[in-house]
Amino acid sequence: MQRTRSISFLQALGYSRSVRVPTSKVKRLFSTKPSTGIASEFLHETIIPTFRFQKSLLRLPIPELDDTLNRYLRAVEPVLKSSELKETQRAVHAFKNGVGPHLQKSLIERDASNSHTSYINEWWLDLYLEDRRPLVINYNPQLTLLDDPVPLKNSWTQRATSLITSTVRFYKTLHSERLKPDLFHTKPHLTKRFAFEYYCKLIPERWAMYGAAAWGAYPLDMSQYKHLFSSVRIPEDSGKDRLQTFTNSKHIVVQRNCNFYRVQVLDETTGNFVGQEALLAQLNQIVAQPANEVTKDGAGLFTTLDRDIWARVRKDFAQTSSKNQTLLHTIDSALFVVTLEDHGPRTEADISRTFLIGNGSNHWFDKSFQLIVASNGKAAVNFEHSWGDGVAVLRYVNELYEDSIQYSVVVDKSNNALTRNMEPLEYDLNVKLLEDLKKAKTQFQHHVEKLHVESVFSPITKKQISQFKIGTDGVMQMAIQLAHFRLHQKFVSTYESASTAAYKHGRTETLRSCTNEAADFVKKMVDGQVSAHEKHQALRAAINRHGELTKDAVMGQGHDRHLFALRKMAELQDIPLPEIFTLPSAEIMNKIILSTSTLSSPNIESGSFGPVNNECYGIGYGIEAPGAKFQLSSYRDDASQLADLLVQSLGDIKEILAAQSKRN
């Protein structure tokens, strides 16, 4: 099922783009002469090496046991029934006065002996790699880019050329440590000056983080960037996949029409980019090729399988012929994979579905990321989630879009003599593999046909909400809570992702946005006897609490990751799991019904991800200058109702804020 209630929220308000291009660069956008020299190879230069701050980053703190238990009890209160809450309180008390302190001490000791990383990093990676469910829907998200503001650059192969060019430039900038470090600037008037950069270059590396912080700039962990390029998740029949990253890759793999092509993007000798004219020629030749004659379904469908099944099939595939071995190695070692999608999605829901799942055949979900370009110029990044979180990918996507509209040019000719670096990759499918491919297609279709994808837009803007001096993320989260309660009349386990990238090897923390304060606000909103003033007060209290939780989470002071680590310690020591982990209440809290994530960026049209279970709603949302957008996916038949209620609830919240503002 696919439906959209609005045209693109950018088009709705007359926006063709949201990145302002300086007047001095307008001529360049329409130029047909690519830059040469060092400017053609790198995004930018920096005197601060990319990983300058990595060694000096603070380590992710382990919260105090009492703090975590108190946070947990507060988080379960609005979700559990009275009897379940009492049972949970008893279990928490028993844990606190029983094995809990021992597990806490063991965790601290283990962390101290692994000072090179965070206490959660290894276990969190294993959690991903040990999950045997298919990657598609369950894990891989997608981020849809805005269109290029120059219409000529949105043709199929021209857009692909632009985005591949900028991605290669990003890779070269990162690989040569010219990429500016990730910094959170609290005093940009000081820290975005040459004096600050020069200071950071001179200060000893082990003190670099402290030096930057003294100026009001806080470095973020960049360890995940090492898996952004030339990386792949390989299925294993041992019950745990493995990540593999290759060095010195100079090619990409392009998929189109169930065919694979090896495309050289860096010169084998010099390492220089082959150029936009050569790249466009190769892509044009690929688009001209006929469909795969062996099968109507591509080998990419294998990557949609259960991981154990795919592990077995991959071994069979490799053993079938040397061609197949070459194909796998070429894909695995490629800098990245490009998918040329014949379908040109128009509606927002169709765009989300196309880039999130597609038809399965023309994707390779195991790669660290796929750059997908549709025939109408729409483009997105679909990425495998085990190796990293949103911070690294979002940095890449933002740099990708901005560079592609400012640097790339309209190539006015395509020279077939330049296609020598394009090599078709053939593969063999025996009877058994053809049967496996058929089963993969059947299973894939079974899952995706049940998936509802919704996209809704509200004209309420970030500026309109910000004028009330209230957090926009909190407002969006309260809209989600209100919408769900209106549909189901209950509060449920809610997940919002918060980054702990301020710490070495930080990953994410769960932000439990269904709070007591949120529940109180929602109840008042649906009560016709409550005044607008009382509703406004409850809204402020709920959003203030959400802000406190956000601050705690990004500072490593949430409770979910800590409890997860304590459970892992019990398993490592063969200690019977305490009741705090085995009660029905634990299952209720761990079964996420509202899986949410903010995907705001001025360069992203939308973003989406799949539900994490059959009862879950996956809700990606963003609020920018044009308005607010919710991307929703779910196996539930009432997904469209919830989508409508999200827009209604956001509007109701704005009315409450506006009414109180007039009174003041």
Set 385, 446, 452, 559: catalytic member: 385
Question: Rounded to whole angstroms, how far apart are CA atoms 228 and 449?
Answer: 31
Containing 452, the helix (H) or strand (E) segment is: strand 452-458
- Which residues, in sequence order, are CB contacts of 358 under 8 Å at separation 6+? 339, 341, 343, 372
Give the start-end residues of each E strand in 574-643. Answer: 594-598, 604-608, 617-623, 628-634
Return d(Cα 85, Cα 254) in angstroms, integer. 54
Distance CA(152)–CA(412), nearest Å, equals 10
Nearest Cα to 71, choosing from 518, 512, 592, 577? Answer: 512
363 among known catalytic residues: no
The DSSP secondary-structure symbol of 23 reads: G
Q: Half-sphere exposure (CA, 13 Å, Cβ side) for 537?
A: 5
For residue 364, which of 386, 334, 325 has the smallest C-alpha distance? 334
Q: Which two tokens stand for residue 440?
A: 């993969």
Structure tokens at 278: 């050569």
Report d(CA 29, CA 162) in Å as an integer: 11
Nearest to 126 by CA among 571, 498, 617, 493: 571
Strand partners, 264: 251
631, 455 contact by CB (below 8 A): yes
Q: Which residues pair with 2 in a beta bridge?
A: 453
Report the catalytic residues: 385
